[in-house]
Amino acid sequence: MTKEINRRDFLKATAVTGAVLLTGDIFRNRAFAQGTVKIPEAEKIVITVITDNYADALRPDYKVAKRYRATSNRGLHGEHGLAYHVETTVDSRAHSFLFDFASDAQGMKNNIELLKLDLKNIEAIALSHDHFDHQAALVELLKAKREEIPRGIPFYVGEQFFIGTYARMPDGNIRSIFALKREDVEGLGLVKITEVKTPTPIVQGAYLAGRVEQVTDYEKIPPMFVKKRGDEYVQEDFIGEQAIVFNAKGKGLVVLSGCAHRGIVNTVKQAQRITGIEKVHLVIGGFHLTGAKPELIQKTIADIKAMRPDYIVPTHCTGYEAVGAFAREMPDQFILNTVGTSYMITA
């Protein structure tokens, strides 16, 4: 039986499980060899967190994190959702795009206005994957901002994005997780949908990672996540989930994830593999470790520590326990994320 899942049930179900299922080598033909993708060096990268789970109006600036300062009695909206505005500067020319769109359109609009984000200059929009907490606000936001967002703007999604997304609940029922409908997006007449399988430039200085190869033996996709194949529901593999990869001039890789269902370690390794760049400057995003067992969290942290990033910023679905563990074990690299924070990387 298929039912529409409500947010409370979804959050309860995801809290019981951890990170990502090893489904075998999806890169059997390995079209992208080590160092194939040459991402132009960015003199400046600014990642602004429009929406995330945690808001703190009093937290001070810290290292590369510049916090939002309220100028009115309106506050920033926080929710179980994620959305970013990203800017790159390459050869002294600025570029920008939106990545993920959270679930509450009113909250998104409120935060965009308070953060004074200019949507007239964005060159692309993209979604990491088709779960409600990353895309439910998209259509309403596009409608509300249709006079600002450039018409015909490219909209990037991963392969199999529009096939629907489902969860097997504890009672055995299969329920939809509010999938985004292609016709609802195309019907707006605003964007041009592009589905990607391989590393793909989104704007100058930023690449979609393409398929994330699974090389760890512990980052497993929870069995609750399923997809429809014909008349059957089979294990979801999140084959199309996208992350964003940057090459910060003189500093190394910046990796921006949505939920990293295929594993945050795998995601960073994908960035290293396709670019041939080992140095990691910043890893930021959801690590999907909510409800994960302590040993899974520790294995993840051990592998991230071995990569020696300059900064680590776990957000959204990383979970309280994992965020705390990163803070304890990587105190010099850890930055606590808050809604409205801008991460500023300059050469």
The yes-or-no verdict on residue 21 having pLDDT over 90 is: no
Compute the distance between CA of residue 320 and CA of residue 54 in angstroms, rounded to an integer. Answer: 11
Q: What is the pLDDT of residues 155-189, one digit of tens each?
A: 999 999 999 889 999 999 999 988 899 999 999 99
| Amino acid in the structure at residue 302 | A
Confidence of residue 32 (pLDDT cuts 50, 70, 90): low
The predicted pLDDT at position 26 comes to: 36
Q: What is the pLDDT of residues 274-326, one digit of tens each?
A: 999 999 999 999 999 999 999 999 999 999 999 999 999 999 999 999 999 99
The yes-or-no verdict on residue 75 having pLDDT over 60 is: yes
Q: Compare 216 and 9 and report the one with higher pLDDT.
A: 216
The predicted pLDDT at position 161 comes to: 95
Confidence of residue 17 (pLDDT cuts 50, 70, 90): very low
The predicted pLDDT at position 20 comes to: 33
Number of domains in the chain: 1
Is this prediction's pTM over 0.85?
yes
What is the C-alpha R_g of the chain?
A: 19
Q: What is the pLDDT of residues 102-132, one digit of tens each?
A: 999 999 999 999 999 999 999 999 999 999 9
Contacts of 262 (CB under 8 A, 6+ apart): 20, 212, 214, 219, 221, 237, 238, 241
The CATH number of the domain holding residue 322 is 3.60.15.10
The predicted pLDDT at position 35 comes to: 84
The predicted pLDDT at position 6 comes to: 47
Q: Look up the domain containing 339 and give its range.
A: 2-346
> Of 260, 271, 330, 335, which is closest to residue 302 (Cα–Cα)?
330
The predicted pLDDT at position 34 comes to: 78
High-pLDDT (> 90) share of the chain, %:
85
Helices (H), ranges, the chain = 7-15, 105-114, 132-135, 138-144, 182-186, 264-275, 294-307, 320-329
- Cα torsion 255, 261, 264, 268 to 10°: value is -50
* 6-20, 47-61, 91-105, 145-159: least confidently modelled range: 6-20
Confidence of residue 33 (pLDDT cuts 50, 70, 90): low
- What is the rounded average pLDDT of the residues 244-270? 98
The yes-or-no verdict on residue 46 having pLDDT over 80 is: yes
